[in-house]
Each structure stands twice: as C-alpha cells, then as structure tokens.
C-alpha cells in the first residue's frame, strides 16, 4: 500500500506558487523554484534540515509553537501560549496576568509551572515499512487497525527508551505514509517576560479571529537543562539550554507584498474529507455542537450570576465554549457562503470522470468512494447518540474525571503495549497533572446543571440510538432529577485528595467504593469499548481505502499534494497581503499603534497600559516607525496556510529572519480547515517591530533586547 | 443689527473648495470660481434662480426633499419618504409595503393619503428689515422676542392670503437675517411606484446609517392639480401638474472623484453652538435622552412580548426611539472621539484673542460670549426638570394628545396673530390629522407603563427643580401607582371619537369633562407658559447677542460662512469619495449588486426579492454595468454636507443631471450636526443606475422609464 506515494508524493508540479499548503519540511526542496521565484533568499534545502539553521530553532510547546531567539535558550512565543506560566506565577497580591512580568536578570526568572515543556524536534524518519509494510491483504479490518496501532506503539517505545525524548508515529496522506518524530523534551522552562494583559490580549474575545487586530500576543520563556546539557526537572542548579541554532530577530519590519514563511505545528485540517463527511459536519455535527455549547454556556453563566466563586470556577469552561462557538459559527458561515460542500461534490464528480476515462484506473479505483461513503454512512447512523455520549463528559467535568480514572484502572491491568493510547505508562504523569488541574474547574452545582441538560437530551434520542446505561439508571431512579440527586449525593469525585487516591486504585478498589459517579463511568464503559471496536473496524477499512483515494486525487491533480495537518512540523509560504472581506470594504495588511488608541477604552478587553498610550501620543517611537505607514506597525496579515497549533510560530522573511509571530487566523478563514479560499484566507501575525518597541519604549526589557543583539533606543540608564 | 451681515455675508473668501457647507442658493454665485475649479459645468448663477433649471425642479415633501423628473409632474424621492403613502394604500390582502407597487397607467395611481404634500418653493425674499428693523435697543428681551414673533406671523399671513401657498419666515445666521419663503402647496399627490420593501429598505435598522450600504431607497409620486393648474384637493378630475422644470435623469452613472451637488431641505444643525452649549448636550442632554429612550423602549418591547396587537401599536414608537438611540449614540461617539468640545473651546479661545487684539473689536464685542454663556447657564440650571417635562409627553401619547387638545382650546380663544405657533388657524387641519393618526400608537397599557417610568423619574428631581403639578397629583393620590390608577381609570382620551369631539371644544367644555388626563394637561399648562415666557426672555436676549457673535466669527474666519440648517432650501457640493473608518480599513465609495447577494438572507431585514437575486445571478444587467466595477452599482458616498430633511434630495452631476438620491449619512458623520470632520463625514446616495436597473430588469416599470425619456433594455413586450 505504502508504495503508492513514496515515488511520486514529493514530485510537485511546477505551478504558480500560492499560500495554500502545510508542507512537510522534506517536501520543501521540491518547491525550490517556486519559492525562489516568490522571493525566498535562503536555500530551500536548509528548510528540510531539522537540526540546521533555521529549522533547529523552531520548537513545540505541546499545542503551541515557539522558537529560540538567543544562544542562551531564550524562547519567544505567543502571550496566549505562555499564559499558563504567567497564571501559575500570578497571585492577587502580585497580579502578573494584568500587569505583566519582566525578569531583569536570570535569577528573577520564574518556574513555568507543571506541564510547561519545550520540545525540540531532532529527527523525523520514515517508518512506513515498519508500520504498514507486509500486511496480509486478507487481514480483517479490525485486525489491520490493531496491528497498525501496536506497531506504532512499539516504534514509540523503542524510540523513547534512551530517555529525555518524546516520540510519535504519525500518519500522513491518510495512512499512505508513516513518519516517526523524535523530540527532546525540556522540562525546566521558566517565565522570562510577558507584557501586560492589555498588550498581550488587547481586544480579548471581541477581537479574537478578527481583523483589523492590535494584539501584542507575545511572551518570552527560557529553556533550562541540567549541567550535563540533558533535560532535567526544575532545579536551581540547572543552566540555560544552548540551542544549536537560534533565529535572528529582524528590526527591518515587513512591507505589503513581502515573502514570508511560517514553520510550526499545525493541529488538524480536513482538506481531504469527502462531500459526505463534510455534509454530515455541516448539517449535524457543527450545528449540534453550536447548540449544546450555547446552552451549556447559558447554564454556566446563570450559575455564576450572583456568585463570584462559581463564576471564577466556570470561567475557563465558558471561555473554551465561546472559542468553539465563534470558530464553529464562522465555519458554518463558510460552509454556507464558501460553498464547501459544492466544492467537494465538484471534486468528486471530476474524480469520477477522471477514473472512468481510463480502464486501468477504473479497475484500480473501483468502488473506492462508494466504500468510503458507506463507512461514513455507518457513522451518520449513530451520530445523534455519539454526540450526546461525547457531551456527557463535556457537560460534566466530574463525570469526565470519573471516566478517566475508571478507564485508567482498567488499562493499568494490561501490558503497556496493549493499553489504549493516552493510558500508557508514558501518559501517566500527564494524567496525574490533569487530575490535579480539574480542581480549577469542578463546581458541583454547575456540573449537575450541565449534566442535567445533556441527560434531558439523551431522553430525546430515537429508539435505535438509545444509551442503555443512562436509560437504565434514570429508569431505576424514577426521573432525571431523582437520578441526579443520587449521582451528586453519593460521589467523592469532586474532592482532589479522593481523586489522587483513585488514580492509584485498581478497578476492584474503585468498584468497592460504590461511588455513584464512578458507577456511571463503569456503566458507560461497555459502550465506549464497543464504539472503539467499531472505530477500529472502520479505521482499519479506511486505512485500506483512503490511501487509494488520495492516490487517485494525486493522479488527477498532477501530484502537488501536501498532507492534512497532524500536529507535526510543517512549513507554509505566502506573502503579506490584505483582503476584501465584503463589497466595498478593503483591509490593509498592516495595523498601527494609532488603531490601539482608537480602540482603547482603558477598561474591559481594550485596556491598553497607560504607559503605552502615553508613548504613542508622545511619539516615543523613534527607530520603530515604518516609513510607509509613518507609525509603529502592530499586526500584519499574510497568505500563509495555518491552523490551531501554529500559535506562536515564528514568521520568517525571505532571509530567514524573524519578522513576527503567527497568532491567529481571520474570521473569514475559519472554513479553511476544509477549503482554502485564497481571496479571504489570511493568517494574523504580531509584527516583531511592535514586540521590540513595547519591550524597549514601554516595558524597558533592554536586557532581553541586548540578549537578542538589538541595541535599545530608549534605555536611559545606558545613556547616562 | 441686521446690517452686520448684509454687506459681507455673501462675500466668500476664495479658499480651496471643501464638502462642508449648506449654502443658501443666493450664496452660490459667490462660490463660482471654486465650483468651476471643482469641475461643475453648469453656470453657478443658475443655482440661485429658484424658478429656473434645475432648482425649479427641487421640491419639498415637508420633512423630505424630492424632485420632478418628467414634464407630467412625476416626482422621485426616497422610499422612506414615500413610505406613508405606500402604507396608506396597503392592506393585509394587498401588501404594497412588502411587495411594492407599480401603476402601469395614470388610472392606476393611488391617492397618497392625508398629509401627503408637494411644496414647490417659488420665492425667497429678504424680510430682515420688516422683522428685526427699527427695534428700540432698550426694548426688554421679552418684548423683543414677542415683536419678532408677531412680525414674522404677520408676514406669513400676508403671504398666504392669496391661497394655495404656504409661507414661512426663517431666521438665518442666528437672527442676523430673516428670509420669507413662499411655497406652492400641492395637495393631490399620488403613489406611482415603489419597489419591494426588500429593495427600498434592504438592510433595515441594521444597516441604518451604515456603510457599505445596499438600499434601493427610492419611490415615485405624482403631483396633481385642478384643471385650472392650481392646487386642489384630491379629485378624479385633477390633472398632472406641469412643472416649469424637471431634472434629466442620467444613465451615465458616477465614478470615484466625480463632482456632485445636492439641493434640498436640511432640517437642523448646530455648527455655531458654543462650547458651553455643546458641553451641556454632551454631558447631560444626549446621555439622558439615551437612557430614557433605552428604558422606554425596553418597557414597550416587554409590553408587546406576547401580544401581537400591542406589538404593532408600539412598533412605530420603538422604531422612532431606536432611530434616536443610534443617532445619539453615534453623536456621543463623535463628542468623545471627534473632540467636538475641544474644537469649540479652541474656536472660542481664538475668538477671544482675535477680539482682544483690536480695541475697536474689544469694544464692539465686549461681553458677548459671557452673556451667551450666562444664558446657557440659566438653561442648564433647570435641565433635569425640563428633560423630565418633555419626556412626560414623549412617554405617553395619551398625555401628549391631552396637552395638544387642551392647549388648542386655550389658544383658539385668542386672536389668530396672538396664538402660539403651531396652534394658528393655518395649523388646525394638521392638528386634526395628528389627532386621527394617534389611533395608530395609543395603547393604554404601554402608555401607563411608560408614564410610570417618567413619573418615577420626576420623583428623583432635586428640590429646586420639582414639577409642582405632578408632585401635587401624586401626593393627593398617595403614590405614583395610585395616581396612575386614577389617571387611566378616568380618561376618554384614548378614544378617537372623543378626541375628535375635544378638538372642537372650548377650555370650559374640556374642564367640564372632568377627564383625568385633560386635568393633568391643564395642571401642567402654567409651567409650560412660564417656560415659554423664560424662553421668550432668553430668545430675545439671544436675538440681541447671537448675531454679534456670528459677526465676530465671520470677522475672524474671513467671511466664508453659511448659516445653520433650518429646513430651508440649501445646496451643498462635494465629490464621490470613500473613507477610512478606522485603522487598516478602507471603504470604497461605491457598492455593487454582488454585495446584495452577500448580505441577502431572504428574510428579516435582508430580504431581497427573489426576482432581483435571480437577475443578478443570471447577469441580466446589460446596459447598467459600471465598466470600472464590472457590476451594477447600488449606492455611493460623497462629501456633500447634509442632515435630516435632505432625504430624497436629488444628487446632480457636474452637468446638473440627476445621478442619484441622497438618503442617509454614515455613522461616523453623526457628529457632523456639530462639527464636520472631512476625513469621515460622508453622505450616502442611491445610484440612479441602480434605480433604473431595478425599474427595468426587476419591476418592469418601463412606462416610467419612457416617461423619463429612457429606453428600457428589458421590455420584452416592446421587442415582440
């Protein structure tokens, strides 16, 4: 199977260069002529060398991207990526979130908090043979899926054995290729500098995904290792990590039309989903999630209305749901206006014509799309139930904890290689962290209100899709409310100490507790296992068919194909460019500090620091003024192709110097996880010039500027 | 006093031409060189000739502007200006509002309904001498105000004596000049054509004051007169009015940068108000009105929540308040961001310097601004009470009716010349119409709820500003609620027949009714009379001082001065031009039909007719496509200086041909009633090309096109 792509995958047709494409580093050399035509000055081969310059400087924070910008392990990323570390060090007495933080010396740098990690990708190797090679074509679909899973786990185990690294086997091109990535995992990461919230999150939720934007979404961390240079837990004796490479931060700024590239870890895209799959998302998945998230948020908001403590406990869940809502609503807009489904139908009709045009093709690809559609239809048949099942735990952090703890006890009894992904020994420390973290979101009253909403929904499910465990429990109790009385009256899952104890207990011990929430988790487990079995079966079938589908697509389109995002390192290229969001409206690709003054209210989400507004009004901007804009630039747009996970990614100019950080996409780009519309799909970057100006003229982070070899313009102490 | 301006007022300095300025027609010849430089091709002297071409074609509808566009009295104006006539002819069975209306022949034209008038300005004459001439400078301020008022009324009476005309004496330059206008009043006005609501009001409240805009805000009426050519009441035998002049409708369209002019009847501006006056508006008047209108609208909305009938009765009041709210909120934005008060303070400081620089000036203008500020402070001292008093009737249409009817009875007993303005014999027919019309808005439950809100407010007034009549009534009843029980339990003011009867009754007869609402009106009357006396006193003083202030301003600025808007005919000049509403955003000056498709939802406020959307999608646009936009244009922006009352004004190109209709200003221009910011102040026009395209390709109004000498492109019947 794997052979389908190995020969031709990297053979990219020389068409005009466009922003679309999250390219694997090893694909970049094939884009060379286009990139050079587009203005790139660095050797494309350098971008395929992960341990060289500049790629060696690009790192993952797990969920975000970052980069080294000094020989002493100084890391720059988004403010929202460093937020956990800022929050960890913040107290009511010393409110670093609101006021920002600057370590004037190494000694003042603060521990980043549990879970703060730097991952340096040190190797990517093709393991397709070892994952999907020599599979008996007559193997059942379930067996195929299991084999692929076990082989992948073994490859991870083998890779992580030496320690200090985190490995992963990821599927590319829908299973046509498997790559194993090795990342050094640095565990001592410290907070170095963050601007005030009114800079780092200026515009807040109101401006989230919006352009024009004026957010200084940047912060600085530092990676520390043991004296032996190896990853180590936090210790005073640790020393700054010396990266093999770090990025040069440019002071030159960018101009409209400039070539830029972004390297980072995009999370997930769905560019190769079929019309049937997208239709199901558009007609059911997205609208239902929007409805549930809206209703649950109303419940959570009502619960916190006159209770500050409840309000704070629910805040992050509400924020998470709001984020989903804006994202999904924007994507729904794109489904409707962008004609995504029509585009897929067109692609599939063209594919059918292309396949039918040649008897050899007709034979090779016979029934591929039909088979995929059949598998999709299987999922559609139970989607109402599946959605309610997933929202049981989304509506109730307490049930989610019970399910995790109960499942862990079941998986712990197995051999590590047989354990479900996420419950292997390598995952236990993070599970423990998550159990601790839940204390910040568990609020039994809101938990019950949210779960009641979903249990009520479960009672409306059609007869073929009932959830037996839930129905039985409600029937036994007499009503949803009576069942909820039992459920919340007989559980200790809300107590952190109890959860910590449960983390170590066997299934028998957990059963013996007779805890109502654990009992619900146990009752739901058979359904989960059954679903996993079905997923295996469907996954095995898809593993058989999807690569063929991709092969046909590649054949039809002439070979220029990049894989869907999967949280592995990618590079995307584009230009600084505005757009026309609607009739008679044009957006310039750059914003300026005058826009901050326009939006600023000194309150709420537009609460710029007084010092910044004063600096703008007093024109304390010398050395940072863009000659064309005649102002300090703040954010810029480009056509690079990014998605969630790219946050914090360095934006490099044609010379490979850092000119900004990617931090968002525009609202009109929300459909781009499915289809990129080049007319309106843009990424939003914070301009390095703005970062440097804030550091210099507002926050006095002159020590860091000098560490990045930039001479401050506003360091009065130096002048005297 | 009048002498101050007569010599120099029209002497306008030859500075660069700018959009600001609502010029009196007779001022235009002095602008000649600027206008010619700006591209105007018609002789500026022609614009001073009110009975010539093109000004003879520009007419007033009373509150709106319109123009003749055919030799047979065909009138084009905004859809929202013709709305009353459309509504008058609309029934649930024949919903002309929603579906639009087209008379295919003269016979099918429908009566415009009561109050629908066309006013043709036939003469403007300077009557300054007869109004403010030979006034004893020692006369008291009250006496001065009364004299000015009586002289004006006599001039009106004299003018209207021959019949068929409506006259008015208006003050210009804050009382430095008085002009008498004579308008022929055509009383038989018929509805000819209106597009569907989804064209004429596309965007509704959401797009009101907004750009980009896609509203086809146009409709057609026709003026009819008796066979003798004189104004007559509606009769089947009437004949179309033959205007001396009518506008040529251009099919050429406009381009960015084009010169345009607008002639019309702007209502009110405050460009010469002092810093103290503007401050009082900004700190009290506007915010309080916003608060009251918001709260009253919440009350009205709640009242109609589960009651369709109540909802309909309250709809127009809610719409009116919403309009005020958006206007006032936008103006408040402009107060804050546009620095209006700072601009006034600067102007006054400069004026003080200019006056102090010359002993003769210092003597002439001694104490002028101080005296104006003292008078302003007098008003400020009672502004809380005055606002509540005015909102008593705004919150309660029933009390408003009682006050009108009671006052009429009091005024009717006087000689006509002594009657308060608005209650003279010439006003009676319109008062009767208003009494009838109130049936559409009186809803006793909502009325009581609104009045309760304001009565509660009255109870919070500070001791120096109490309203005795209200306090006494509430004290006698025991509480606000008990008083409201009495008030609404013992009144017949809600009944149309009773109101019609009251309209004819004497004060004694009204008193004898013992109607609680009339009693409140009677109890409030002494306060109103007292306030009127104070207004006379302040008005008389202002009439003494303000012209001096204007004279000083004119002296300082070098003479280029236009008077504040006062609902008289004005001309304003400008160019087709977009703007930058905020950092990184640019608005093009033209919208296109593709924007209609973008906004359209086939529901609510964006409910374009299916036929229109089909015509756009099928490119049934031949002959109407703008070659630069490559689409049919819809609306455009220009820098002309307009305000409420300008609605429906013809927009003329450099050759004096009609290229559009003014129908709105942009949100950023809301502060322009006080100060024009040339960077963002724009007027919004519907493009004549769009009007013609809708008429031709969508509504088949080919008869009207031909009447305007335009050959239809989509008249299939003609082709066969």
At B170-196, the pLDDT tens digits run: 999 989 999 999 999 999 999 999 999
Mean pLDDT, all residues of chain B:
93
Are A585 and B590 within 8 A, CB to CB? no
Residue A15, Cβ density class (10 Å: 0-12 exposed, 13-18 middle, ≥19 buried): exposed
pLDDT tens digits, residue range B681-694?
Answer: 999 999 999 999 99
- Catalytic amino acids of A? 80, 217, 647
Average pLDDT estimate for B511-521: 98
Question: Does B601 fall in a domain?
Answer: no
Q: How far is B578 from chain A (nearest CA, A)?
A: 9
Question: Does B309 fall in a domain?
Answer: yes
**Which chain B residue is nearest to residue A588, measuring alpha carbons?**
B584
What secondary structure letter does DSSP report for B564? Answer: P
Confidence of residue A12 (pLDDT cuts 50, 70, 90): very low
Checking if the pLDDT of B5 tops 90, the result is no
Q: In terms of Cα–Cα distance, which of B188, B215, B190, B186 is closest to B85?
A: B190
Q: Which pTM does this prediction carry?
A: 0.86
Question: Does A515 fall in a domain?
Answer: yes
Most confident of A496-505, B29-38, B127-136, B429-438: A496-505
Residues of B in contact with A585 (CB under 8 A): 212, 585-588
pLDDT tens digits, residue range B563-605?
Answer: 999 999 999 999 999 999 999 999 999 999 999 999 999 999 9
Residue B336 at interface with chain A, using a CB cutoff of 8 Å: no
Question: Does B109 fall in a domain?
Answer: yes
CA A623 to mean position of chain CA atoms: 35
pLDDT tens digits, residue range A216-251?
Answer: 999 999 999 999 999 999 999 999 999 999 999 999
Instruction: For residue B689, give the 3-state DSSP assignment.
Output: helix
pLDDT tens digits, residue range A620-641?
Answer: 999 999 999 999 999 999 999 9
Q: Six-digit token pair at B368?
A: 């002028």
pLDDT tens digits, residue range A431-474?
Answer: 998 999 898 889 999 999 999 999 999 999 999 999 999 999 99
Question: Look-up: residue for tokens 């043991």?
Answer: A226
Checking if the pLDDT of B3 tops 80, the result is no
Are B585 and A214 within 8 A, CB to CB? no
Average pLDDT estimate for A170-194: 95
Contact B553, B369 (CB under 8 A): no
Question: Look-up: residue for tokens 């805009």?
Answer: B213
Q: How far is B305 from chain A (nearest CA, A)?
A: 21
Find out whether the peptide bond into B54 is cis, omega within 30 degrees of 0.
yes
Q: Which of A577, A583, A593 to mutate to test the interface with B (most CBs of B within 10 A)?
A: A583
Total domains present in chain A = 1
Instruction: For residue A135, give the 3-state DSSP assignment.
Output: coil
Angle, vertex CA A281, rays to CA A276 and CA A286, nearest 5: 165
Residue A226 at interface with chain B, using a CB cutoff of 8 Å: no
- Known catalytic residue at B80: yes
Note the pLDDT of residue A5: 35
Residue A603 at interface with chain B, using a CB cutoff of 8 Å: no
Helices (H), B49-175: 79-88, 96-99, 128-132, 141-160
Predicted interface score ipTM higher than 0.90: no
Instruction: For residue A213, give the 3-state DSSP assignment.
Output: coil
Mean pLDDT, all residues of chain A:
93
Q: How far apart are the C-alpha atoms of A400 and A393, rounded to whole Å?
A: 5
B288 shares a domain with B208? no
Q: How far is B58 from chain A (nearest CA, A)?
A: 30
Are A211 and B584 within 8 A, CB to CB? yes
Q: How far apart are the C-alpha atoms of B351 and B355, rounded to whole Å?
A: 6
Residue B134 at interface with chain A, using a CB cutoff of 8 Å: no
Question: Does A647 fall in a domain?
Answer: no
Angle, vertex CA A591, rays to CA A590 and CA A596, nearest 5: 170
Residue A94, Cβ density class (10 Å: 0-12 exposed, 13-18 middle, ≥19 buried): exposed
Q: How far apart are the C-alpha atoms of B266 and B697, rounded to whole Å?
A: 33
Using CA atoms, how far residue B157 sits from B71, B128, B412, in Å, is 32, 16, 17
Are B214 and A583 within 8 A, CB to CB? yes
pLDDT tens digits, residue range B42-94?
Answer: 999 999 998 899 999 999 999 899 999 999 999 999 999 999 899 889 888 89
Find out whether the peptide bond into A212 is cis, omega within 30 degrees of 0.
yes
- Could you list the residue range(s) of the whole structural domain that residue B140 is in? 46-247
H-run or E-run covering A548:
helix A516-557
- Phi first, then psi: give them for residue B351, nearest 5 degrees: -65, -45
Helices (H), B600-684: 610-617
- Phi first, then psi: give them for residue B576, nearest 5 degrees: -70, 120
Query: In this prediction, what percent of chain B has a pLDDT beyond 90?
Result: 84
Q: How far is A585 from chain B (nearest CA, A)?
A: 5
Q: How far apart are the C-alpha atoms of B183 and B50, rounded to whole Å?
A: 11
Residues of A in contact with B212 (CB under 8 A): 582-585
Note the pLDDT of residue B135: 87
Note the pLDDT of residue B718: 58
**Which chain B residue is nearest to residue A590, measuring alpha carbons?**
B584
Question: Does B57 fall in a domain?
Answer: yes
**Residue-by-residue DSSP string for A288-355:** HHHHHHHHHHHHHHHHTTT-HHHHHHHHHHHHHHHHHHHHHHHHHHHHHHTTHHHHHHHHHHHHHHHH
Question: Does A403 fall in a domain?
Answer: yes
Residue A586 at interface with chain B, using a CB cutoff of 8 Å: yes
Are B582 and A212 within 8 A, CB to CB? yes
Q: How far apart are the C-alpha atoms of B387 and A183, rounded to whole Å?
A: 71
CA B410 to mean position of chain CA atoms: 29
> Chain A, 338-357: which have a CB under 8 Å from a chain B CB?
none
Among candidate residues B485, B520, B546, the one where a domain is terminated: B546
Residue A508 at interface with chain B, using a CB cutoff of 8 Å: no
Residue A682, Cβ density class (10 Å: 0-12 exposed, 13-18 middle, ≥19 buried): buried
Checking if the pLDDT of A2 tops 50, the result is no
Contact B535, B375 (CB under 8 A): no
Q: Six-digit token pair at B582?
A: 């905020």
Please identify which of the residues B149, B201, B217, B673 carries the catalytic annotation: B217
Among candidate residues B503, B529, B546, the one where a domain is terminated: B546
Q: Six-digit token pair at B425?
A: 């014999």
Q: Going by DSSP bridges, is the β-strand pair B683-687/B633-638 parallel, antiparallel, or unpaired?
A: antiparallel
Q: What is the dihedral of CA B34, B36, B39, B41, to 10 degrees?
A: 150
Checking if the pLDDT of A6 tops 90, the result is no
Contact A480, A474 (CB under 8 A): yes
Note the pLDDT of residue B8: 34
Contact B498, B492 (CB under 8 A): yes
Average pLDDT estimate for B461-485: 97
Q: In terms of Cα–Cα distance, which of A496, A497, A480 is closest to A488?
A: A480
- Known catalytic residue at B217: yes
A-B C-beta contacts closer than 8 Å: 56
Note the pLDDT of residue A168: 95
CB nearest B588 (choices: A214, A586, A598) = A586
- Phi first, then psi: give them for residue B400, nearest 5 degrees: -60, -45
Contact B608, B207 (CB under 8 A): no
Question: Does A456 fall in a domain?
Answer: yes
Confidence of residue B18 (pLDDT cuts 50, 70, 90): low
Residues of B in contact with A584 (CB under 8 A): 211-212, 578, 587-592, 595
B129 shares a domain with B235? yes
B391 shares a domain with B314? yes
Contact B397, B441 (CB under 8 A): yes
Confidence of residue A718 (pLDDT cuts 50, 70, 90): low
Q: How far apart are the C-alpha atoms of A465 and A473, rounded to whole Å?
A: 16
Q: How far is A596 from chain B (nearest CA, A)?
A: 9
Q: How far apart are the C-alpha atoms of B31 and B648, rounded to whole Å?
A: 24
Using CA atoms, how far residue A30 sits from A174, B387, B399, B624, in Å, is 21, 75, 82, 49
Q: Six-digit token pair at A683?
A: 């990424």
Among candidate residues B501, B527, B546, the one where a domain is terminated: B546
* Sign (positive or negative) of CA dihedral B438, B111, B220, B119: negative
Note the pLDDT of residue A559: 74
Q: How far apart are the C-alpha atoms of B666 and A719, rounded to whole Å?
A: 50
What secondary structure letter does DSSP report for A285? Answer: I
Checking if the pLDDT of A18 tops 70, the result is no
Using CA atoms, how far residue A162 sits from A122, A139, A157, A159, A166, in Å, is 14, 34, 10, 7, 10
Q: At what angle do helices B286-303 and B383-395 cross, to 10 degrees?
A: 20
Residue B585 at interface with chain A, using a CB cutoff of 8 Å: yes
B123 shares a domain with B182? yes
Find out whether the peptide bond into A54 is cis, omega within 30 degrees of 0.
yes
B418 shares a domain with B506? yes
pLDDT tens digits, residue range A246-292?
Answer: 999 999 999 999 999 999 999 999 999 999 999 999 999 999 999 99
Checking if the pLDDT of B10 tops 90, the result is no
Q: In terms of Cα–Cα distance, which of B189, B182, B187 is closest to B120?
A: B182
């Amino acid at each position: 199977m794997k052979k389908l792509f190995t020969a031709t995958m990297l053979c990219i047709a020389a068409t005009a260069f466009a922003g679309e494409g999250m390219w694997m580093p090893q694909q970049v050399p094939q884009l060379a002529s286009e990139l050079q035509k587009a203005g790139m000055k660095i050797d494309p081969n350098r971008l395929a060398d992960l341990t060289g310059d500049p790629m060696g400087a690009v790192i993952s924070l797990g969920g975000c991207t970052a980069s080294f910008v000094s020989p002493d392990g100084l890391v720059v990323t988004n403010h929202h990526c460093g937020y956990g570390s800022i929050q960890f060090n913040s107290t009511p007495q010393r409110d670093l979130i609101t006021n920002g933080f600057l370590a004037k010396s190494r000694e003042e740098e603060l521990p980043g908090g549990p879970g703060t990690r730097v991952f340096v990708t040190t190797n990517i190797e093709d393991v397709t043979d070892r994952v999907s090679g020599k599979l008996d074509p007559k193997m059942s679909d379930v067996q195929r899926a299991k084999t692929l899973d076990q082989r992948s786990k073994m490859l991870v185990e083998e890779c992580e054995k030496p320690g200090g690294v985190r490995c992963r086997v990821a599927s590319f091109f829908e299973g046509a290729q498997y790559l194993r990535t090795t990342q050094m995992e640095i565990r001592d990461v410290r907070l170095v500098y963050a601007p005030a919230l009114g800079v780092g999150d200026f515009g807040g939720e109101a401006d989230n995904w919006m352009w024009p934007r004026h957010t200084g979404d940047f912060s600085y961390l530092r990676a520390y290792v043991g004296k032996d240079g190896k990853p180590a837990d936090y210790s005073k004796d640790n020393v700054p990590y010396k990266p093999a490479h770090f990025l040069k931060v440019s002071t030159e700024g960018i101009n409209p039309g400039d070539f830029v590239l972004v390297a980072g870890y995009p999370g997930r895209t769905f560019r190769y989903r079929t019309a049937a799959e997208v239709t199901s998302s558009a007609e059911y998945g997205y609208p239902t999630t929007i409805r549930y998230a809206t209703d649950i948020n109303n419940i959570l908001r009502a619960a916190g209305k006159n209770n500050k403590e409840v309000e704070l406990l629910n805040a992050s869940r509400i924020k998470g749901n709001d984020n989903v809502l804006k994202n999904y609503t924007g994507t729904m807009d794109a489904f409707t206006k962008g004609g995504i489904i029509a585009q897929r139908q067109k692609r599939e009709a063209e594919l059918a014509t292309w396949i039918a045009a040649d008897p050899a093709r007709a034979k090779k690809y016979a029934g591929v799309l039909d088979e995929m559609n059949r598998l999709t239809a299987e999922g559609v048949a139970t989607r109402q139930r599946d959605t309610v099942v997933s929202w049981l735990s989304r509506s109730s952090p307490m049930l989610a904890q019970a399910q995790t703890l109960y499942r862990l006890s079941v998986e712990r009894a197995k051999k590590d290689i047989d354990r479900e992904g996420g419950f292997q020994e390598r995952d236990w420390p993070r599970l423990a962290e998550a159990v601790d973290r839940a204390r910040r979101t568990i609020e039994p009253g809101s938990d019950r209100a949210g779960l009641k909403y979903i249990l009520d929904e479960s009672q409306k499910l059609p007869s073929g899709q009932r959830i037996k465990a839930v129905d039985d429990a409600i029937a036994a109790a007499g009503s949803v409310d009576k069942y909820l009385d039992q459920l919340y009256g007989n559980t200790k899952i809300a107590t952190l100490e109890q959860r910590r104890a449960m983390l170590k207990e066997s299934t028998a011990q957990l059963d013996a507790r007779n805890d109502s929430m654990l009992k619900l988790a146990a009752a739901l487990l058979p359904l989960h296992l059954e679903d996993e079995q079905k997923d295996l079966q469907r996954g095995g079938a898809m593993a058989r068919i999807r690569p063929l589908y991709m092969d046909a697509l590649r054949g039809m389109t002439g070979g220029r194909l990049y894989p869907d995002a999967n949280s592995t390192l990618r590079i995307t290229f584009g230009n600084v460019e505005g757009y026309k969001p609607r009739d008679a409206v044009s957006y310039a690709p750059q914003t300026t500090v005058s826009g901050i003054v326009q939006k600023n209210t000194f309150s709420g989400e537009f609460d710029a620091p007084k010092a910044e507004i004063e600096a703008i009004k007093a024109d304390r901007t010398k050395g940072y003024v863009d000659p064309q804009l005649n102002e300090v630039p703040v954010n810029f747009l480009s056509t690079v192709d990014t998605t969630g996970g790219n946050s914090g990614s360095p934006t490099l100019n044609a010379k490979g110097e850092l000119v900004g950080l990617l931090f968002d996409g525009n609202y009109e780009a929300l459909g781009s996880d499915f289809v990129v519309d080049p007319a309106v799909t843009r990424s939003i970057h914070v301009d390095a010039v703005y970062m440097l100006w804030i550091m210099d003229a507002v926050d006095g982070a002159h020590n860091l500027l000098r560490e990045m070899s930039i001479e401050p313009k506003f360091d009065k102490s130096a002048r005297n």
